[in-house]
Amino acid sequence: MVEAENGFEALSEIKRSEPCVVFLDIRMPGMDGLEVVESAKSLAPNAKIVVMSGYMDEVRRANMISAGAFWVLEKPLPLKVVGRFARDIYWRRPPAGGKG
């Protein structure tokens, strides 16, 4: 697992590690999660990208524009649920809950 402090760092880590699954908060310093999704698609085209937010208006916006994210989730989410969600995506099973 790799963490990033802001959108620019997230892109750098995505480029470096080419992950299978990426979780992004919509609100991040420097570059928001939806902007990161746009750039990440070319850096790691096979990655499943999940965007999350605790702000309902941002979740609606992400759902409306469907910026290439695999899934959009509303926070807060228990860590156990996030882990199960990541595992299901990795093993290519449809995740339970959320919007896909």
Q: What is the CATH number of the domain that holds 79?
A: 3.40.50.2300
Is residue 75 domain-resident?
Answer: yes
pLDDT at 62: 76
Flag whether 98 is in a domain. Answer: no
Q: How many CA atoms lie within 13 A of 75 on its CB side?
A: 14
pLDDT at 99: 47
pLDDT of residue 96: 56
Position 13 in a domain: yes
Q: Which of 93, 88, 54 is nearest to 72 (CA)?
A: 54
Closest CA to 88 of 48, 37, 43, 41: 48
Q: Count the domains in the chain.
A: 1
pLDDT in the model for residue 85: 82
Give the chain's residues under pLDDT 50. Answer: 98-100
